[in-house]
Amino acid sequence: MDNNELLTRIAAKKTDDPDEKSGDLGKLMKFLIVQVKDKNYAFFVEQIKEIVTDVPLYFVPFVPPYVRGFINRHGEPHTVFDLNALFEGEELESATFLISNFENDQIAFLTSGVTEILKIPENEVHVITSAEENEGFFLGSVSSKGAEIFILNLPNIVERLEHDI
Amino acid sequence: MTSDNHEFLILNCTEMDFIINRNQFFASIVLEETVKYKSQARHFSSLMKYHEQTLPVFDFNAFLKDTFGSGIESIFNIALISDITLFSEGNQSAYRNLILKENTELSSEYLALKVNVQAEIKRVPLSEIRLIPSGLRAKLNKEGILGCRFPLKNNIQYFVDIETIIFKCIEEV
């Protein structure tokens, strides 16, 4: 069997995960607020299915510096994005990973930790109209304890990888 | 009933392991005597004799160290012998145009791959091998990394394609 044949057989064995959630947010919106070094960011709770800590991070070559490697979740490799490396150009020292709910890719985000779950009315979400300054990485912001927290635009963050490799 | 198992060579290294399709080489011998060799292509650094033929030796240990920061420096090594004529036509042509032009004495049939002695051939269920996550799959496949496997809690094995890896080093010249 050559390698192409092996890959075809491996791919055929992979079944789709039926546990996909809808994107319906309703009027009250829920955000997972996470710390990345000294900054907080907001994920839509529906985008994250698991938080894991202290699992080994495996090096992957030929990738941009903000891709820190793979982690193993239930036998499946997940690509780890380091948001601090992407936004600030400096690797984050941490072992807390958020496993995302992406339908077509297995992606995890490296963070310092989860701060809180924030529930706020939809009309209190501040929308960002210009994507020029932040390269489209943020959708808007929410206020918590007097601070503005950016909401991450995960599809755009992940799409960045396509341009960089 | 067809078996889900396939034979792979498993190379044990320091930070991670590597698995190679057993069908990509047909013999393995202890690598004893080699002669230094200078090629424009990376990691072709020695020559060896095999059945009266002179084979270029691709230093896979050095490739792993350069690319993954992993690998074992060993004074005992094994040469895996690959049949070049089984490789793609494009790769054979690249080989003829560079390696065979550099040294016309070299075998046009075989090349050797130097690996460390921490290697074993095992049958691995294909169901245990995972494809690379989709965002990186095309890029890593192009570089010769086809998949991975997690046989233990704290270990990863990368499934690598030696033909792609060797010929990337030739093409980049």
Q: How far is CA A158 from CA A137, B5, B100, in A?
A: 9, 35, 43
Task: State the Cα–Cα distance between residues A4 and B92, nearest whole angstrom.
Answer: 18
**Contact assignment for A58 to B154 by CB distance below 8 Å:** no
Task: State the Cα–Cα distance between residues B17 and B8, nearest whole angstrom.
Answer: 12
Fold of A35-164: OB fold (Dihydrolipoamide Acetyltransferase, E2P) (2.40.50)
**Contact assignment for A7 to B135 by CB distance below 8 Å:** no
User: What is the per-residue pLDDT for A132?
Assistant: 60
Task: State the Cα–Cα distance between residues B84 and B56, nearest whole angstrom.
Answer: 12
Q: At residue B58, does pLDDT exceed 90?
A: yes
**Contact assignment for B150 to A72 by CB distance below 8 Å:** yes
Q: Look up residue B30 and give its DSSP letter.
A: E
CB-based contact A99:A52 (threshold 8 Å): yes
User: What is the per-residue pLDDT for B15?
Assistant: 81
**Domain boundaries of chain A, sorted by first residue:** 35-164
Average pLDDT rounded to a whole number, residues B86-110? 95
User: What is the per-residue pLDDT for B166?
Assistant: 97
CB-based contact A7:B146 (threshold 8 Å): yes
CB within 8 Å of A131: residues ≥ 6 apart: none
Q: How are strands ordered across the β-sheet holding A96-100?
A: A48-53, A96-100, A107-111, A76-82, A67-73
The answer to whether A5 faces chain B, any CB pair under 8 Å, is: no
Angle, CA B137 vertex, CA A89 and CA A48 arms, to 5°: 60
List chain B residues with CB under 8 Å of A63: 136, 139
Average pLDDT rounded to a whole number, residues B112-141? 95
CB-based contact B101:B47 (threshold 8 Å): no
Which residues sit opposite A149 in a β-bridge? A142
- Beta carbon pairs, A and B, within 8 Å: 86
User: What is the per-residue pLDDT for A14?
Assistant: 56
Q: How far is CA B21 from CA A6, A160, B26, B120, B124, in A?
A: 9, 33, 11, 12, 10
Which amino acid is it at A152? L
Calculate what percentage of chain B has a pLDDT beyond 90: 86
User: What is the per-residue pLDDT for B154?
Assistant: 87
User: What is the per-residue pLDDT for A130?
Assistant: 66
Q: pLDDT (tens digit, 0 to 9) for every residue of chain A, 165 residues total?
A: 787 777 777 777 654 434 334 344 457 899 999 999 999 999 999 999 999 999 999 999 999 999 999 999 999 999 999 999 999 999 999 999 999 999 899 999 999 999 999 999 988 999 887 656 667 899 999 998 889 999 999 999 999 999 999
Token pair, residue A108, equals 């995890």
Angle, CA B24 vertex, CA B101 and CA B15 arms, to 5°: 100
Q: Which residue of A has its CA nearest to B126?
A: A10
CB within 8 Å of B38: residues ≥ 6 apart: B45
Average pLDDT rounded to a whole number, residues B59-77? 87
CB-based contact A1:B21 (threshold 8 Å): yes
Model confidence band, residue B164 (pLDDT cutoffs 50, 70, 90): very high
User: What is the per-residue pLDDT for A26?
Assistant: 52
How many angstroms away from the CA of A85 is the closest CA of chain B?
18
The complex's ipTM works out to: 0.92
Q: Which of A79, A135, A82 is nearest to A107 (CA)?
A: A79
User: What is the per-residue pLDDT for A27?
Assistant: 75
How are beta strands A28-36 and A113-121 bridged, if at all?
antiparallel
The answer to whether A63 faces chain B, any CB pair under 8 Å, is: yes
Task: State the Cα–Cα distance between residues B173 and B150, nearest whole angstrom.
Answer: 35
Q: Identify the weakest region by mean pLDDT among A126-135, B61-70, B164-173.
A: A126-135
Q: Is A143 left (phi over 0), alpha (psi -120 to 50) or beta?
A: beta
Q: Look up residue B106 and give its DSSP letter.
A: B
- Tell me the backbone φ, ψ of residue B94, rounded to 5 degrees: -60, -40
**Domain boundaries of chain B, sorted by first residue:** 5-171
Alpha helices in A38-139 (DSSP H): 83-88
List chain B residues with CB under 8 Å of A77: 130, 132-133, 148, 150, 156
